[in-house]
Amino acid sequence: MTDEPTLREAADDSDFRIGAAIDPDALRSDPSYWRTASNEFNAVTPENALKMGPLRPSRDTYDFGDADAVVDFGDRNDMYVRGHVLVWHNQKPDWFQAWDYTDDQLREFLREHVHTVAGRYHGRIDAWDVVNEAVADDGSMRDTVWYDALGEDYLADAFRWADEVSDADLYYNDYGADAINEKSDAIYDLLERLLDRGAPIDGVGLQMHALGDHPDPDSVAENIRRFQDLGLDVQITEMDVAFHADDPPANPDKVQAEFYRDVIAACRDAGCDTVVTWGVHDASTWLRTFRDFSDRFTGDPLLFDDRYDEKPAYDAVKGALRD
Ligand code: 9MR
């Protein structure tokens, strides 16, 4: 036994939340996964279980089994629970693709979805990603089923619907907008417009999938501060750190650890208190199974390696929490 505190204890001591995206199958089947998740993290996000596809096997039915498993795990272990996600253009159910809806039907469907899902977890989910990835990489509004049928109104509506049934803090969440850039400028403008219209938005989630090109931590801190100046809370919601597979640094573990440390430090300096990593250990990263990403990026982006051993990044995060 050692007196060294766990990551979770170090985070608790610093009033900080360090989280992991969770796979309910791994929770059920792998005691080491369960143990690492509960001992080392004080926040969780279901990685896929709350998305519309997994939740809705048919238009009239819901299957909350996997989502409940993750939320129950968070509750039982006294963790902060981030809900991900109410409105997204990806991972929609198969039957949806074949549905020939009218715009009014789509709006009513989305209202009912948000009310049912956010309402079910009233008091149990602490923060919701209400809308995910509504902005394209060039800063224009992303061309999605929701935007196509309902225009920008769907965002304000979704936040309002969530607010009607949920006591959670309500977030807009996106990737590639971690530092000051064209996309984060566009998101800033979008959120300002929505807030001006009275949309009940509490915060913005910066995903921080640092795959290859890593954002400048000083620019991340500046970005966090400008969203805070809009009155929004800022969380890092899906962090992982990889490298271009064809051009990794000579010492990837060290560079990875330094980037984790710098982002946690930038976040804390700016007054942000939550960083969720996108998985418990390297063996569960999405980078190994998603499209051709395993060819494009190195596949060990998290704080624990395939055997649940602590990596240099783990020590770096803990160190940054103690500074
Ligand atoms: O990690 C998720 C992976 O298992 C899914 O296959 C994928 C489907 O698009 O979604 C991944 O999670 C995404 C998250 O929901 C939104 N931000 C980007 C994440 C990584 O793609």
pLDDT value, residue 3 = 80
Ligand 1 geometric centre to CA of 278 (Å): 9
- The two counts, helices (H) then strands (E), for the chain are 14, 9
What pLDDT does 203 receive?
99
Distance between Cα 5 and ligand 1 center (Å): 31
Strand partners, 240: 209
User: Residue 322 C-alpha to ligand 1 middle, in angstroms?
Assistant: 31
Ranges in the chain, pLDDT < 50: none
173 close to ligand 1 (CB < 6 Angstrom): no
How buried is 61 (Cβ within 10 angstroms: 0-12 exposed, 13-18 middle, 19+ buried)?
exposed
Confirm or reject: Cβ of 45 under 6 Å from ligand 1: no
Give which of 226, 241, 243, 124 is closest to 179, Cα–Cα.
226
Q: Which residue lies with its CA nearest to atom 14 of ligand 1?
A: 47
Compute, in angstroms, the gap from residue 280 CA to the centroid of ligand 1.
14
Check pocket membership of 25 for ligand 1, CB cut-off 6 A. no
Q: Tell how far the Cα of 262 is from the centroid of ligand 1, in angstroms.
A: 24
Cβ of 47 below 6 Å from ligand 1: yes
Kindly state if the Cβ of 297 falls inside 6 Å of ligand 1.
no
Q: Which of 278, 282, 291, 294 to mutate to test the pocket of ligand 1 (most atoms within 8 A of CB)?
A: 278
Predicted local confidence at residue 1, as pLDDT:
52
Q: How far is the CA of 313 from the centre of ligand 1 (A)?
A: 22
Q: Which two tokens stand for residue 244?
A: 């271009």
Q: What is the pLDDT of residue 208?
A: 99
Domains and CATH numbers, the chain: 7-322 (3.20.20.80)
Which residue's CA is the closest to the ligand 1 atom numbered 18? 175
DSSP per residue, 141-196:
BP--HHHHHHTTHHHHHHHHHHHHH--SEEEEEESS-SSSSHHHHHHHHHHHHHHH
**Residue 137 and residue 143: Cα distance in Å, rounded?**
11
Q: Could you identify the atom of ligand 1 that is nearest to the CA of residue 51?
A: 15
Using an 8 Å Cβ cutoff, are 169 and 163 in contact? no
**Stated pTM of the model:** 0.98
Query: Which atom of ligand 1 is closest in space to residue 21's alpha carbon?
Result: 1
pLDDT in tens, 128-157: 999 999 999 999 999 999 999 999 999 999
CA terminus-to-terminus distance, the chain: 24
Q: By the 8 A CB rule, do 175 and 204 touch?
A: no
Q: 290 in ligand 1 pocket by Cβ < 6 Å?
A: yes
284 touches ligand 1 (CB under 6 Å): no
Classify 205 in phi/psi space as left (phi over 0), alpha (psi -120 to 50) or beta. Answer: beta
Is the minimum distance from the CB of 277 to ligand 1 under 6 angstroms?
Answer: no
Please give the positions annotated as active site. 133, 238
- pLDDT recorded at residue 59: 93
Q: Is the dihedral of CA 166, 167, 168, 174 positive or negative?
A: positive
